[in-house]
């Protein structure tokens, strides 16, 4: 009994110590894929550009222009490696599938041309392309035909073909990135065949070669530009942790767009390269860090702040965990204005540099002409590229955490500033995993009662299986105008809807989903997408509940089927619905006469009157649709848990009720046994108790001395013995008579038991 009483308390303590992942309100095994574009897993698809109409995809020997609607191929550009380059690649020990031209870099140039770079069988090259009309005026002679599946073809001219060392990776699987800003290409990749010379490069400027303080085995995940800077996000081996072991930290690096290199022999080195750590951790006395950045989103204009969302994971051999953190661009810039970090010698700790040791003007700033800087300032920034202060995450904690043995987060995309029904705007975040899932969530912030601290709440809206299990999601692309999410893997592109409002069939499920895109239409009784609906914000024809509990959301909806509902429909329609209901339940319908309250109301009734009186308009009732929705598991899965959660009897209260019932049952049974024993002792005399205290089979015949069991052997058909104890062929009337005479002597005559025995057996 003590276990029953202490069980709920133990469970509550464990739940407070470590909370599981937030469960999505909408979860299906496979999402509805609206379109697909297939290739091979060795094609290494990479999104090189996109808008609301087209997607530009780099692949093996091909550059695709694909329509966002239906993923139909508009055109393609073919650029294979030459036979000599492929043969040389295989002679260097590479596999046959590596010795192709994987297109990795694309950018539109200012003069109407576009730049395209590929691995070219481990010998990177870049080309400038122009259309035929423009190339004819430039006098170009090489022509490339771009064909399409529809039969249309486009002709491009190659205006330039150069080596791309430092601009394009050697391998399609290498983690490289780039950004095109102010007519110049900024790339973060490797500069040699073996991949041992990482660099951040822009036309004659690069990071120091083989300098571990600047770059130490980095993996680049993204690059963005903002306010005269170019930011690079990557993970690398931490130099400041080398004295304690080996660790990987996430970084953000920064260079100035107007950097022209330093004076004298520093003419090919950055004078503005700095880097800082990105802090994505669970706060506490001993923070839990997610140290390895995996992907970033483009800059999101979130209200007055410019933000970058990023995906982090733990190391491969650690506790499998993933997180999504957001960073303000202003916080990143503030970190680069803080203290520098340095190490006195190889045996010393990394400590902040004192302000008196920092040259003036401050190194690392953007100046009009970096070639006028002093050698002292350039040498200082070369030896002290690391900042002391880490960039803090927004709200000081991850926006989403996942601890899952089966998958990790790999990609991210954001639908910014989606306006809800109440006028507030939310950033809707989509994150992909390495087993083909896409998780959709938002964050809501509320102030504590003291008004000084914020409470961050994560609302996981849905988790869909978009790709086959085991297929990692490499990239995510959002088109808000097309209501489309493009999911990219190594050899496949698929599109799914951004919103799943239509999967919800009741008001409680629609409101509990807490999707700012979805609202419950009181007129049509459907869960609709606000972006696609022609509605006006502030009207009363839609319901939406954000940043509330499911119980509060249930109070906003009209009464459900569990409550008394007055349905306004014709008697024939009511009879048809009842027949369908009883047919599904396996019973027979009762004769129900429509009451006066069930008669149709006048056509002039207002919509608010229906809501106040818990009535449903006649046009919204469709019996076939009602019964279909009740038996559709995919449409009802988002409601089951919500109804359980909204129930006033929680699992904890139910446990206490069961425990009280068991205690009462055992105490009552014990008391009943004691009372029965006491009554038997007072009712029977000593001789009666002595005789019946033994088994009945111990009564013996006075003549034969044999045991006679009157109750068991009275019926030959009920015995379980093979040989009967009595001979049924003999006349045993005298034996029975003698037995009863013996009982008359032994038992008191007042009892009625003897009389019953005589009447039954004699």
Position 612 in a domain: yes
Return d(Cα 174, Cα 197) in angstroms, integer. 13
Does residue 449 register a pLDDT over 90?
A: no
Q: Residue 661, Cβ neighbours under 10 Å: how many?
A: 10
Q: How many domains does the chain have?
A: 2
Return d(Cα 255, Cα 223) in angstroms, integer. 11
Lowest mean pLDDT among 38-42, 116-120, 532-536: 532-536
Are 615 and 714 in a shared domain?
no
- Per-residue DSSP letters for 134-148? HHHHHT--EEEEEE-
Strand ranges inside 448-599, DSSP E: 454-465, 475-479, 484-488, 492-497, 518-521, 526-529, 542-543, 566-567
**Cα dihedral value 45, 50, 56, 59, nearest 10:** -10
Q: Are 476 and 488 in contact (CB under 8 A)?
A: yes
pLDDT at 546: 84
Are 537 and 598 in a shared domain?
yes
Mean pLDDT, range 704-724, rounded to an integer: 41
Position 13 in a domain: no
Higher model confidence: residue 32 or residue 27?
Answer: 32
Strand ranges inside 517-616, DSSP E: 518-521, 526-529, 542-543, 566-567, 615-616
Mean pLDDT, range 625-639, rounded to an integer: 37
Q: Which residues, listed in sequence order, are joined to residue 707 by a DSSP beta bridge?
A: 700
Are 531 and 619 in a shared domain?
yes
Band of pLDDT at residue 568, cut at 50, 70 and 90? very low
Does residue 515 register a pLDDT over 70?
A: yes
Return d(Cα 426, Cα 269) in angstroms, integer. 42
pLDDT at 652: 63
Q: Are 461 and 442 in contact (CB under 8 A)?
A: yes
Write down how long the chain is.
Answer: 762
Q: What is the pLDDT of residues 31-55, one digit of tens each?
A: 567 889 988 888 999 999 999 999 9
pLDDT at 574: 46
CA angle at residue 37 from 35 to 41, to 5 degrees? 135
Return d(Cα 286, Cα 308) in angstroms, integer. 26
Are 604 and 742 in a shared domain?
no
Return d(Cα 704, Cα 691) in angstroms, integer. 20
Residue where a domain terminates, one of 605, 629, 646 = 646
Return d(Cα 418, Cα 407) in angstroms, integer. 28
Mean pLDDT, range 601-614, rounded to an integer: 38
Does residue 486 register a pLDDT over 60?
A: yes
Phi/psi for 349 (5° steps) reads: -80, 160
H-helix or E-strand spanning residue 155: strand 153-163
Q: What is the pLDDT of residues 83-97, one digit of tens each?
A: 999 999 999 999 999
- Give just the sign of the alpha carbon dihedral 480, 484, 489, 492: negative
pLDDT at 423: 86
Position 198 in a domain: no
Mean pLDDT, range 699-727, rounded to an integer: 41
Mean pLDDT, range 437-461, rounded to an integer: 83
Helices (H) and strands (E) in the chain, counts: 15, 40
Q: Are 435 and 469 in contact (CB under 8 A)?
A: yes
* Cα atoms in the Cβ-side hemisphere of radius 13 Å centred on 724: 14
Return d(Cα 393, Cα 400) in angstroms, integer. 12
H-helix or E-strand spanning residue 639: helix 633-646
Return d(Cα 308, Cα 333) in angstroms, integer. 13
Position 574 in a domain: yes
Q: What is the pLDDT of residues 404-430, one digit of tens each?
A: 888 999 999 999 999 998 889 999 999
Are 504 and 617 in a shared domain?
yes
Does residue 264 register a pLDDT over 50?
A: yes
Cα–Cα distances in angstroms (integers) from residue 553 to residues 23, 227, 509, 562, in the given order: 18, 43, 9, 16
Proportion of the chain above pLDDT 90, given as a percent: 47
Cis bond before residue 458 (omega within 30° of 0): no
Does residue 682 register a pLDDT over 90?
A: no
Lowest mean pLDDT among 308-322, 586-600, 730-744: 586-600
Is residue 409 packed enough to be buried (19+ CB in 10 Å), middle (13-18) or exposed (0-12)?
buried
Does residue 722 register a pLDDT over 90?
A: no
Band of pLDDT at residue 536, cut at 50, 70 and 90? low
Q: Which residues, listed in sequence order, are joined to residue 55 by a DSSP beta bridge?
A: 50, 66
Position 546 in a domain: yes
Does residue 629 register a pLDDT over 90?
A: no
Nearest to 637 by CA among 509, 459, 496, 468: 509
pLDDT at 535: 60
pTM above 0.85, yes or no: no
Strand ranges inside 359-491, DSSP E: 400-403, 409-419, 425-433, 437-447, 454-465, 475-479, 484-488
Nearest to 475 by CA among 101, 225, 221: 221
Mean pLDDT, range 254-262, rounded to an integer: 95
Select, from the ranges 92-96, 229-233, 238-242, 634-638, the one with the highest average predicted confidence (pLDDT): 229-233
Mean pLDDT, range 649-668, rounded to an integer: 75
pLDDT at 445: 84
- Per-residue DSSP letters for 57-100? EE-BSEEEEEETTTT-EEEEEE-PPPHHHHHHHHHTT--GGGSS
Are 624 and 748 in a shared domain?
no
Are 633 and 754 in a shared domain?
no
Are 536 and 610 in a shared domain?
yes
Mean pLDDT, range 359-376, rounded to an integer: 92
Q: What is the pLDDT of residues 179-221, one digit of tens each?
A: 999 999 999 999 998 889 999 999 899 999 999 999 999 999 9
Does residue 307 register a pLDDT over 70?
A: yes
pLDDT at 20: 55
Return d(Cα 212, Cα 275) in angstroms, integer. 13
Position 138 in a domain: no
- Per-residue DSSP letters for 650-715? -HHHHHHHHHHHHHHHHHHHHHHHHHHHHHHHHHS-HHHHHHHTS-GGG-B-TTT--B--TTTTT-
pLDDT at 304: 87
Higher model confidence: residue 731 or residue 50?
Answer: 50
Are 518 and 618 in a shared domain?
yes
Lowest mean pLDDT among 97-106, 122-131, 748-757: 748-757
pLDDT at 583: 47
**Mean pLDDT computed over every residue of the chain:** 77
Nearest to 280 by CA among 294, 297, 269: 294
pLDDT at 693: 41
Position 140 in a domain: no
pLDDT at 575: 52
Does residue 320 register a pLDDT over 70?
A: yes
Q: Are 215 and 199 in contact (CB under 8 A)?
A: yes
**Where residue 625 sits, what CATH number does that domain have?**
3.30.1680.10
Return d(Cα 276, Cα 254) in angstroms, integer. 9
Higher model confidence: residue 429 or residue 143?
Answer: 429
Over its C-alpha atoms, the chain yields an Rg (Å, rounded) of 40
Are 609 and 736 in a shared domain?
no
Q: Are 28 and 21 in contact (CB under 8 A)?
A: no
Q: What is the pLDDT of residues 66-85, one digit of tens each?
A: 999 899 999 999 999 999 99
Position 94 in a domain: no
Q: Provide the 3-class DSSP secondary structure of residue 23.
A: coil
Are 642 and 713 in a shared domain?
no
Return d(Cα 318, Cα 606) in angstroms, integer. 61
Are 507 and 574 in a shared domain?
yes
H-helix or E-strand spanning residue 107: strand 103-108
Q: Are 600 and 570 in contact (CB under 8 A)?
A: yes
Mean pLDDT, range 139-162, rounded to an integer: 65
Return d(Cα 462, Cα 438) in angstroms, integer. 8
Q: Which domain holds residue 701?
A: 696-761
């Amino acid at each position: 009994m003590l276990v029953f009483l202490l069980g709920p308390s133990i469970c509550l303590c464990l739940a407070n110590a470590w909370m599981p992942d937030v469960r999505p309100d909408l979860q299906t095994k496979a999402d509805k894929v609206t379109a697909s574009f297939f290739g091979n897993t060795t094609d290494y698809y990479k999104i090189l550009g996109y808008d609301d109409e087209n997607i530009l995809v780099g692949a093996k020997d091909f550059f695709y222009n694909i329509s966002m609607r239906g993923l139909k191929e508009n055109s393609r550009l073919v650029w294979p490696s030459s036979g000599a380059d492929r043969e040389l690649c295989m002679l260097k020990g590479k596999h046959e599938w590596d010795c192709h031209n994987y297109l990795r870099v694309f950018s539109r140039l200012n003069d109407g041309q576009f730049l395209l770079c590929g691995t070219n069988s481990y010998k990177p090259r870049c080309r400038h392309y122009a259309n035929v009309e423009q190339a004819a005026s430039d006098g170009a002679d090489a022509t490339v035909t771009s064909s399409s599946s529809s039969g249309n073809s486009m002709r491009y001219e190659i205006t330039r073909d150069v080596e791309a060392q430092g601009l394009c990776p050697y391998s399609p699987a290498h983690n490289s990135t780039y950004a095109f800003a102010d007519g110049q290409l900024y790339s973060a990749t490797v500069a040699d065949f073996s991949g041992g010379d990482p660099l951040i490069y822009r036309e004659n400027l690069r990071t120091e070669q083989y300098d571990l303080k600047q770059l130490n085995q980095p993996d680049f995940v993204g690059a963005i530009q903002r306010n005269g800077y170019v930011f690079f996000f990557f993970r690398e081996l931490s130099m400041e942790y080398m004295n304690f072991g080996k660790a990987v930290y996430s970084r953000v690096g920064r260079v100035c767009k107007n950097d022209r290199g330093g004076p004298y022999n520093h003419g090919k080195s950055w004078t503005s390269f700095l880097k800082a750590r990105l802090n994505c951790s669970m706060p506490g006395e001993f923070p839990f860090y997610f140290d390895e950045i995996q992907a970033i989103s483009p800059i999101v204009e979130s209200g007055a702040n410019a933000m970058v969302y990023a995906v982090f994971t733990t190391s491969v051999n650690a506790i499998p965990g993933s997180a999504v953190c957001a960073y303000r661009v202003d916080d990143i810039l503030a970190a680069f204005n803080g203290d520098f970090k340095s190490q006195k010698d190889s045996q010393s700790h990394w400590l902040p540099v004192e302000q008196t040791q920092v040259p003036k003007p401050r190194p690392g700033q953007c100046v009009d002409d970096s070639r006028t800087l002093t050698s002292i300032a350039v040498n200082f920034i070369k030896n002290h590229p690391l900042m002391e202060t880490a960039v803090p995450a927004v709200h000081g904690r991850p926006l989403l955490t996942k601890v899952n043995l089966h998958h990790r987060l790999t990609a991210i995309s954001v639908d910014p500033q989606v306006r809800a029904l109440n006028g507030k705007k939310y950033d809707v975040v989509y994150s992909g995993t390495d087993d083909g899932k896409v998780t959709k969530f938002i964050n809501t912030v509320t102030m504590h009662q003291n008004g000084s601290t914020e409470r961050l709440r994560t609302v996981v809206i849905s988790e869909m299986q978009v790709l086959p299990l085991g297929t990692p999601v490499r990239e995510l692309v959002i088109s808000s105008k097309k209501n489309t999410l493009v999911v990219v893997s190594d050899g496949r592109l698929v599109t799914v809807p951004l919103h799943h409002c239509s999967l919800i069939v009741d008001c409680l499920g629609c409101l509990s989903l807490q999707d700012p895109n979805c609202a419950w239409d009181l007129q049509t009784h459907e869960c609709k997408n606000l972006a696609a609906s022609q509605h006006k914000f502030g009207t009363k024809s839609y319901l939406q509940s954000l940043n509330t509990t499911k119980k509060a959301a249930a109070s906003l909806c009209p009464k459900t089927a569990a409550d008394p509902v007055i349905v306004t429909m014709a008697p024939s329609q009511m009879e048809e619905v009842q027949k369908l209901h009883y047919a599904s339940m396996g019973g027979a319908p009762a004769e129900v006469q429509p009451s006066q309250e069930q008669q149709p109301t006048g056509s002039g009734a207002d919509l608010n009157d229906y809501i106040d009186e818990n009535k449903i308009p006649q046009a919204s009732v469709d019996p076939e649709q009602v019964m279909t929705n009740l038996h559709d598991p995919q449409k009802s899965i988002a409601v089951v848990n919500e109804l359980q959660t909204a129930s006033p009897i929680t699992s904890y209260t139910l446990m206490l009720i069961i425990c009280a019932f068991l205690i009462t049952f055992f105490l009552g049974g014990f008391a009943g046994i004691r009372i029965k024993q006491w009554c038997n002792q007072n009712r029977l005399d000593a001789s009666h108790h002595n005789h019946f205290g033994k088994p009945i089979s111990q009564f013996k015949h006075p003549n034969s001395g044999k045991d006679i069991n009157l109750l068991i052997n009275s019926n030959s058909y009920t015995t379980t013995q093979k040989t009967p104890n009595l001979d049924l062929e003999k006349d045993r009337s005298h034996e029975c008579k003698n037995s009863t005479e013996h009982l008359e002597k032994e038992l008191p005559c007042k009892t009625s038991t003897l009389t019953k025995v005589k009447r039954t057996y004699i």
